[in-house]
Amino acid sequence: MLSLTIVVPVLAAIVLLAMPKDRPQMARWVAFGVSLVPLTLIVVAWTRFEGGPEFEMVESLSWIPSIGVSYQVGLDGLSLPLVALTTVLFSASILFPVDLRGRARQYFAAFLFLEGVSLGLFLALDLILFFVFFDLSLVGMYFLIAIWGHGSAHRSALKFFIYTLVGSLALLLGILGIYLNSGEPRTFDMIEIITTQPLPAAGLGSVLIFWAIAFGFMIKTPLAPFHTWLPPAHVDAPAPASTILAGVLLKMGTYGFVRILLQMMPETFDRFSFPIAVLAVVSIVYGALVAMAQTNLKRLVAYTSVNHMGYVILGVAVAANIGAPGAARSIALTGATIEMVAHGLITGAMFLLTGSILARGETYEMDEYGGLASRAPALTGAMLLAAFASLGLPGLAGFVAEFQIFAGTLGVYPWLAGIGLLGIVITAALFLRMVQRVFLGPLPDRWSAWTDLGKWELAALVPMLALVVVIGIAPAWLVDVIDSASRAITGG
Amino acid sequence: MSLIAAILFWFFSAAAVVTGWLVFRTDSMVRAAYWLMASFVAVGGILMVLDAQFLGLILILMMAGEMTIMAIFMVMFMMNPAGLNPMTMVHQHRTSIVSGAGAFAVLAIVALFADFPDRPVQPGADPTVDLGVELLGESMLVFESAGVALLAVMIGAVALVSFRGRFGEAEEGSEEPALETDEQ
Amino acid sequence: MSLEAVLFVSAALFGIGVYGALSQQSFVMIMMGLELMLNATILAAVAFWWGTTNGNPEGQLLAIVVMAVMAIEAAIGFALVTNVYRVRKADITEKLRKLRN
Amino acid sequence: MLRWSPSSATILPELILAVGAIVVLMVALFTPRRLQPWMAALAAAVLLSAAVFAGLDLIDPPGLTFFDTLAADGVGRWATLLLAVVALLVVGLSVEWFRPDARHAEYYVILIFATLGAVLLAGANDLMELVLAMMLSSVAGYTLAAFHRRSRGSSEAGMKYFLLGALANGAMVYGVALLFGLSGSTTFTDVGPGLEGADPLALVVGFGLVVVGVAFKMGVAPVHPWVPDVAEGAPAPAAAFLMIFGKIGALVFLARFVLILPDTQLGWRPLVALVAAVTMTLGNLAALRQDDVRRLLGWSAVSQAGYGLLAIVAIGRSDLAIPSLLMFLVAYSFGTIAVFGVVVALRGLTDRISYRGLAGPHPWLMGAMLIGFLSFIGIPPLGGFAAKLLLMGAVIDAGYTWLAVLTVINSVVSLVYYFRVLGPAYQEKPGGRRPTMGRLAGASVAFAAIGVIAVGVVAQPLLQAWNTLDL
Amino acid sequence: MVWLPILFPLAGAVAVLAMRRRRPWLGPIAVIALLGSLVSAVLAAFSDATSTWSWGAGIDLSLEVADAGRVMVVLVPLVAVAVVLYAALSMRDDPALPRLFALLAGFVAAMELLVVAADFLTLLIAWELVGAASWALISHDWRNLKAPTSAKEAFVTTRFGDLGLYIAAGAAFAATGSFAYSDLASGADPLWLGVVAGGVVLAAAAKSAQLPFSPWLFSAMAGPTPVSALLHSATMVAAGAYALIRLQPILSAVPWFGPLVVGLGLATALAGGLVAFAQTDLKRALAGSTSAQYGLMLVATGAGFTAAGMSQLTAHAFFKALLFLGAGVALHSAGTLDLGKLRLGSTMPRIAVLFGIGAAGLAAVPPLGAAFSKEAVLGAAFDAGFWVGSGVLVAGFLSALYASRLHVLAYGPGPPVELKSRPHRVEVFALAVLAALTVVLSVIWLPGSKELITEVSSGSFAEGEPWELGLSLLTIAMALGVVWLLWRRKVLVTAGFPQRFRIFVAGWWGIPTAARRVIIDPVIRLSRDLASADFSVVDAVVRGIAASAAGFGDRLRRRVETAVDWIAMGVGSRTLLTATVSQKIDDDGVDAAVEGIAEGFRFGGEQSQRTQTGMSHHYYTMLVAGSVVVLIVAAIWR
């Protein structure tokens, strides 16, 4: 069943490409319909999910047994929410109207391809399979940015590709390192590696492997100072691609931190949890500060992603500290995972909204706008909701995550938690500034014909924002699922 | 024997090196070709001194023939009266000297300081017979390969140079296809 | 007359050949340099046959193989020189500069 | 001890190639001009039967033949099979390309000879056989490069290829003489033991000079300059072949060769590692600015040769070395055929700018190019990824982690120039269709592209077969 | 049960939004919702209701009406009803009325949640929601950029304080593994308890506008009057003091907790009193007085007598709401809040009387309840120490001083004023309700009420001395005398201060300026610098690596191929390269870097034809040189 979520979109992408005529509406509906398949399947999987410490619904096929590679997918409390997030974001993004540049089939095919690949990454339980999807996601995203982007899309897309390829290849080296150390016979099987923990806690080899993988994921996540590919890629990408980039692709890095580093080499991670936590806090504060100075709306949102990913990694680093109390580690990891989901929904929605603004105003410069609230209450309301969620207002998803992260961190790294908290104040300031600059104040004459969100935009946005609220108010259904994994991972 | 051999060896050696050097010190290609031939003949001499009479002989014969061809070729080819006109056609002279000296130095060091096994040729053996046995015995594949290689080079050389072929002008249409075709 | 001496002479011939191959502009002259190098190789091969291999006939064969190499290279070399001269009116290396970065 | 293999089937592919070449030549002599292109079919039949028999040989137990001068082992047979398939695909690319040529049956003859040369090189178990296989493949190679007898570029490419090759081969032959002198034999079976305790200085020089020759064949630094020139100047189908066949032959030979060398006196492993590092870096960096696609492919071939050497570095130390070597060769061959095939199919279109917006009108061709390039970069699940995975695993296993890191860095660099071609092709507004070369070339491209994907995705049968191979 | 006081206003908010097109219904709906909240709050207060809401993974949000919460849970909707009643009429022409009502109702709901919170997580949730609601309410008039700007300042300031609660919650979790008050009370590591205390004090100080956060109340003035009235009396600002009162039993285990809170409160009471005295803007003066009054509550709480604090909070809620509504009427009628231009007593005598009751409460004139609570605070302060008591005495003097000054200047007798509009009957009624509540609160002077309060709020009173009351009365008399003197000299408006000093004091002792100079401007500058550094340094490193790879590649290739010309090439190309790279580095991306290098080399190529290659003899040189290198390496590196 899980394999279907991967295969169906990818096959559909190929079929779409082979379709003879370019009929945008039909292509959109086909793509949307196909994207509902994984969504439905994941909902079913959620209802069947038991929440034990083991991986569930594992499907396994021998692929290249000669070198220990297999096709193996499965779920646990960590991947299930991310997979669900992926399906929601893709369905919404496909629905979101965008300038197709006369290449509708290719656009939707790229989206479906990327969906299958992203789902595959979160479901993969084999390191090579994981890497395959990791790299293919780069290719898919490259084309989405390069072909349907704007501004200097060529350069941004290439920069994105090159920079994250550096990360992915570092990851590959690390994966090879794990493989070569995985005992006899060698294997890429993640379940087996997690169970047997073949890597020695000490030793130069483990340290090198750890940092190679960590470097790879730090680029992908991204943590400062490896984030500079992110703003141009976001700014020049079409809005739905930005949503996917922020909502899904960045999570691959943070997911990898947990799945590979935390689960496969916990003792080595323990040695370096403090430096990683420091980097995370630097990202939090740095991302927020730099975002505050932006005049470009989308760039601003992009930098807040750096900030939010800092929270995630902070939570992961706390969970990696073996000496800390189990409850703190577990709550931090749960918080980090919720933050992944929350950030995906919130920032995803926010990027879609920037797309709506660009489509109407043709610029991201915030100073060009003002007073839009009077013409576009729905747009304003949606952005306001997203902004408040992003700055961590209780009752919305972001708070649930950030609170748990800080609650876990404070007992383990009190000073880092204290510094990191400053990020919350700065994000509050910067989002309010943004809202004020774009939506409040007097309306310039040139925008007097501004239109509010259309029905398709709303159709894409409302489910995402509704989830933000639901998670914010009643997160138990999500927290319990994640907690099952967190406890298993941290032993808390 | 050994004294005479030694004298002959040093004589041929000196001749081989000096004539070899003269190949590149002369003004005309034809003369250069003859100096080269002289160098080969000298080496053939050395081979004979080293009990490899057969090899020495075929080297001299083959090279004499080849060098004549080369000389004629140049006369024909360069449209240069007898290839005798004075000329200097040298580039990157210093680099070449350094490179040549370097190559010599490396090999000379190997020659003088390397420790080769001392397993001289048995006095009683007939090297030519051995060669024949080897050629048609254990190293047959080498022999055959040489044949194939020579066949290939003949075919290749003919294909490249012949003016006329079975179908008139041999070079007709032998170039990159046009990027645009008439259909377009 | 020792192995060292023969190899030394061979090294000298090889060095001269390298010098010639590098210093000459004309293709034909370059080929002469190459032939000289092969000449040195024949000498070395026979020297080893004579001095270090219990008279293994493979040494003699090696010399013959090198002669074959000489012939092959000369043949294909002349063919190419002719061809280049016909197409490009080029007889020295400096005239072949179409293909470069 | 004479070990003449009674079964001539062992060398049947070689025999078929040698005899087949002559047959093609003879038939062509008596065939009217308008039927000349059918010589391609004949050559294809020869290559196909060679491939079939090489494939059938795969099940034979490994051994040596012709008094130990030729190895008939699994790796050699796989190399033979691969070479025959590559030549077959090149024939497919060549038919339309050479159709206007008044006399091109010789092209196929030489192509078969070149294949034979590389096959013999891959199987060479004797220093003299090495020299002659090298000569055969080189001579055929020069001819192929210069085959456009009215083309300025082609003749220049052939000439330069020859000049460099002659010098490199001259050096190699001297090295062979030195090794013979040290070991007292030319057959590897005896060279190995003979070199035990040999003088290290002479050994180094001898080995180094042999490596110069092998490096020339592969297009490895410092004997690489012919590669971009030939890639640009030679007839495009021939260029594709020339990029590939030397690598197959020489890499397999080198793997066989280094294994007989004594580890104690000779640091061949670091030497090969250094050459690999320099080669891949040089090739990649030089390719960065190329605006000529064929030349770019040439430089990329240089860097790929560097990757291929990783397998040699690891050989004998990692059980991944031989599978990685073969996987690299297969992936590289198909990838090269695919991208060069696209150039051929577009009638030799080589200006980077001309590729702008081609993805629209030529989705399949550009798709093949995309697959080929992505495979070269090492994007999974393509063959190039499988190759790089195994190669890097092998060198890390062999203790050369820095080389794997360098490979990674180079892969990133390579992305830049591949996407300087691909980017505009996909991003720019679709342009008009360009004239193409016909179905057969397209079919070869398709076959190669599918091959690139297949070896990555369906790697298991191959790896299973290769895991047990020995040299 | 415990949910109802929260859900009623929430439902009201939803209903208001749903029926936003039927404007006449809006007011009644809002009032009914708040009345529902009030009634259910009373019931909840008597039933000591508790409830929990699970977040999963063992994290529960627990709600409980307990201790001071029993009073507070009733107080909030009580004040809110009056305020909403006023708003329904005074803002009846505002097109955004539905939004205002919805937000006010939400504001109340959030505050009720805060009151019934029984753990730090719930407290934090409510705490932040209150802040966010206040942001939305303050920026009610968003078309004028001033309002959202002020709202942002207010929100960011208080959010900084919120960090204290984050820290407190985290520390509680670290200490006990849960967020509940009760777990913390049942014993925790003193170190962590200290962190909790520090966090709570920080949060409370920011919310209750204590030093140094006080100035945010000025920003909050940008909101409409009903918002200010509610914000100052029973919701936002009250949250800080309430949280301290609620948590005092737990936190008093920390030895420095009491002195810190007392000191903070006293300092704010004195400084704020002077601010209120020096201000010439009616609402701002009231804002200053709010800080001062909450300072007094903190003194009582810090001294350990939470009942005193709670009664002060209650009394203050009524009269401060009343005063703000009075100020609103003034603004509405006279169109200004400038104390120099009001004196509406002759024109609107009824309002003047009502406002006077509020001012009397502010001045703590007996027998009003406010005076009782003031006395309780004084008693608590003297219990804490003589100097504290003296300080509170001075603060009481200041209260009387500014209260009387404000009344005289705002609603004192004066020349008839041309009114823009007259207050509506219901508006006056709302004021009257609050005035009545202020007066009715006098019943707490009755014997037995102390015991009742003690029992209900689980707090305590200090044993007051009779002379304390006398002293208070004396200070009030003195204050009245001073005001009369100043009035006579016609300098009451400027309070007799020199102009620059007055402005300095009225602007909260220069704290806003200092904050801008020391915190805001540097942070913004830092953020700009970082943003430019992000491109010119961090990214430049990346681009530099790319550029040098490209440049290195070119150099390497060319140098190897033209081995002969190494030196000449090297010198030339390096200068060129440096120049081009530094010039091009500001251009974007890898491609540009590549192009830049290419350009440099084209130029270099023009300079020296020798760099051109493609010639076989160069290849030869390379081969020989390379082979020699290979041999040397092989000979050395085993």
**What would the pLDDT profile of D25-38 be if each residue is shown by its tens digit?**
999 888 888 888 88
In this model, does residue D216 exceed pLDDT 90? yes
Tell me the pLDDT tens digit for each residue of E222-232: 888 888 888 88
Cα(D125)–Cα(B141) distance, rounded to whole angstroms?
A: 11
Cis omega (within 30 of 0) for bond into A185: yes
3 state SS of E638:
coil
Residue E554's pLDDT band, with cuts at 50, 70 and 90, is low
Residue percentage of chain B with pLDDT more than 90? 24
Nearest to residue A134, comparing CAs of A25, A21, A252?
Answer: A252
Tell me the pLDDT tens digit for each residue of E358-390: 999 998 888 888 888 988 899 899 888 889 999
Tell me the pLDDT tens digit for each residue of E56-96: 888 889 999 888 888 899 999 999 998 888 888 888 888 88
Structure tokens at D434: 């360009």
Q: Is E4 at the interface with chain B, CB within 8 A?
A: no
Contact E432, E357 (CB under 8 A): no
In this model, does residue C87 exceed pLDDT 70? yes
Q: Tokens 């627990």: give the residue.
A: E62
Q: Tell me how close the Cα of D350 comes to any Cα of chain E, in angstroms.
A: 19
Q: Across the C/D interface, how many CB contacts are shorter than 8 Å?
A: 129
**Interface test with chain D among A148, A176, A186, A213, by most D beta carbons within 10 Å:** A176
* C-alpha E319: how far from chain center: 22
Structure tokens at E107: 């504001």
Among the partner-chain residues E618, E624, E631, the one whose CB lies closest to the CB of B99 is E624
Q: Is A440 at the interface with chain E, CB within 8 A?
A: yes
Q: Is D467 at the interface with chain A, CB within 8 A?
A: yes
Residue B119's pLDDT band, with cuts at 50, 70 and 90, is confident
pLDDT at E605: 35
If you average pLDDT over residues B172-177, what whole number do you get?
81
Q: Tell me how close the Cα of E158 comes to any Cα of chain A, in angstroms.
A: 9
Range with lowest mean pLDDT among A46-50, D138-142, E2-6, E289-293 = E2-6
pLDDT at E217: 87
User: Is A161–D392 a contact, with Cβ atoms under 8 angstroms apart?
Assistant: no
Among the partner-chain residues A290, A422, A436, the one whose CB lies closest to the CB of E152 is A436
Top-confidence residue, E451 or E572 = E451
DSSP H helical segments within E177-256, as ranges? 181-185, 190-207, 216-220, 225-233, 236-251
pLDDT at A100: 85
Range with lowest mean pLDDT among B95-99, D366-370, D451-455 = B95-99
Structure tokens at B147: 């044949």
What single-letter DSSP state applies at residue D434?
Answer: -
Residues 6+ apart with CB under 8 A from A196: A182, A183
pLDDT at E559: 53
What single-letter DSSP state applies at residue A64?
Answer: E
Element (H, E) at A56: strand A56-64
Residues 6+ apart with CB under 8 A from E396: E364, E374, E378, E472, E475, E476
Q: Which residues from B are below 8 Å from C71, CB to CB?
A: 62, 66, 150
pLDDT at E577: 46
User: Is B155–D109 a contact, with Cβ atoms under 8 angstroms apart?
Assistant: yes
Top-confidence residue, A254 or E342 = A254
What single-letter DSSP state applies at residue E119?
Answer: B
Tell me the pLDDT tens digit for each residue of E586-618: 334 434 444 443 444 344 333 333 333 667 888
Please provide the DSSP assignment of E509-574 as one string: GGHHHHHIIIIIHHHHHHHHHHHHHIIIIIHHHHHHHHHHHHHHHHHHHHHHHTGGGHHHHHHHHH
* C-alpha B69: how far from chain center: 13
Residue C76's pLDDT band, with cuts at 50, 70 and 90, is very high
User: Is A132–D380 a contact, with Cβ atoms under 8 angstroms apart?
Assistant: yes
Q: Is D184 at the interface with chain B, CB within 8 A?
A: yes
Tell me the pLDDT tens digit for each residue of E506-537: 888 888 888 888 888 888 888 888 888 888 77
Residues 6+ apart with CB under 8 A from B182: none
Nearest chain B alpha carbon to D199: B115
The subunits that touch chain B, with at least 3 C-beta pairs less than 8 Å apart, are C, D, E
pLDDT at B85: 55
Element (H, E) at E50: strand E50-56
Phi and psi torsions of D149, nearest 5°: -80, -10
Cis omega (within 30 of 0) for bond into D222: yes
Count of Cβ atoms closer than 10 Å to residue E583 Cβ: 12
Residues 6+ apart with CB under 8 A from D52: none
Residue C55's pLDDT band, with cuts at 50, 70 and 90, is confident
User: Is D379–A154 a contact, with Cβ atoms under 8 angstroms apart?
Assistant: no
pLDDT at B12: 93
Among the partner-chain residues A162, A395, A480, the one whose CB lies closest to the CB of E57 is A480
Residues 6+ apart with CB under 8 A from D320: A67, D314, D390, D393, D394, D397
The subunits that touch chain C, with at least 3 C-beta pairs less than 8 Å apart, are B, D, E
Task: State the Cα torsion A119-A124-A128-A134 to the nearest 10°.
Answer: 30
User: Is C22–E617 a contact, with Cβ atoms under 8 angstroms apart?
Assistant: yes
Q: Tell me how close the Cα of D468 comes to any Cα of chain A, in angstroms.
A: 10
User: Is C87–D152 a contact, with Cβ atoms under 8 angstroms apart?
Assistant: yes
Q: For all residues of chain B together, what is the average pLDDT?
A: 82
If you average pLDDT over residues E302-309, what whole number do you get?
90
Q: Tell me how close the Cα of B99 comes to any Cα of chain E, in angstroms.
A: 7
- Do chains D and A have 3 or more beta-carbon pairs under 8 angstroms? yes
If you average pLDDT over residues C11-39, what whole number do you get?
91
Task: State the Cα torsion D438-D443-D448-D450 to the nearest 10°.
Answer: 130
Residue burial E7-33, b: 16+ Cβ < 10 Å; e: rest: ebbbbbbebbeeebeeeeebbebbbeb
Q: Where are the beta strands (DSSP E) in E57-167?
A: 59-64
Q: Is B162 at the interface with chain E, CB within 8 A?
A: no
Top-confidence residue, D431 or E54 = E54
In this model, does residue D2 exceed pLDDT 50? no
Q: Tokens 């490596």: give the residue.
A: D211
Residue E557's pLDDT band, with cuts at 50, 70 and 90, is low
Cα(E298)–Cα(E205) distance, rounded to whole angstroms?
A: 9
Residues 6+ apart with CB under 8 A from E341: E334
Top-confidence residue, E176 or E597 = E176
User: Is B104–C6 a contact, with Cβ atoms under 8 angstroms apart?
Assistant: no
If you average pLDDT over residues E329-351, what whole number do you get?
83
Give the range with max mean pLDDT: A317-326, C1-10, D334-343, E156-165: D334-343
pLDDT at E24: 83
* pTM across the whole model: 0.91
Distances (CA, A) of E38 to E1, E35, E69, E74: 12, 5, 13, 6
User: Is D205–B106 a contact, with Cβ atoms under 8 angstroms apart?
Assistant: yes
Express the helix, strand and coil content of chain C in percent, nearest 5 each: 80, 5, 15
Q: For all residues of chain E together, what is the average pLDDT?
A: 83
Residue B114's pLDDT band, with cuts at 50, 70 and 90, is confident
Q: Which residues pair with D351 in a beta bridge?
A: D292
Residues 6+ apart with CB under 8 A from E316: E233, E293, E294, E297, E361, E370, E373
Indicate if the alpha-carbon torsion angle B96, B101, B104, B107 is positive or negative: negative
In this model, does residue B88 exceed pLDDT 80? no
pLDDT at E422: 78
Q: Which residues from D are below 8 Å from E552, CB to CB?
A: 285
Among the partner-chain residues B116, B146, B153, the one whose CB lies closest to the CB of D181 is B116
Could you read off the pLDDT tens digit of each residue along chain A, which spans 492 residues? 889 999 999 999 999 988 877 788 888 999 999 999 999 999 999 999 988 888 999 999 989 888 889 999 999 999 999 999 999 999 999 999 988 888 888 899 999 999 999 999 999 999 999 999 999 999 999 999 999 998 888 888 988 998 899 999 999 999 999 999 888 888 999 999 999 988 887 788 899 999 999 999 999 999 988 888 999 999 999 999 999 999 999 999 999 999 999 999 999 999 999 999 999 999 999 999 999 889 999 999 999 999 999 999 999 999 999 988 888 999 999 999 999 999 999 999 999 999 999 999 989 999 999 889 988 999 999 999 999 999 999 999 999 999 999 999 998 999 999 999 999 999 999 999 999 999 999 999 998 889 999 999 999 999 999 999 999 999 999 999 999 999 999 876
Measured CB to CB, residues of chain E less than 8 Å from chain C are: 557-558, 561, 612-617, 620-621, 624
| Angle CA E220–E223–E225, to nearest 5 | 110
Among the partner-chain residues C21, C41, C96, the one whose CB lies closest to the CB of D159 is C96
Q: Is E129 at the interface with chain B, CB within 8 A?
A: no
pLDDT at B77: 64
Range with lowest mean pLDDT among E69-78, E242-251, E327-336 = E327-336
What single-letter DSSP state applies at residue E339?
Answer: G
pLDDT at E499: 84
> In a 10 Å sphere around its CB, with 0-12 CB exposed, 13-18 middle and 19+ buried, how is residue E447 labelled?
exposed
Nearest chain D alpha carbon to C45: D177
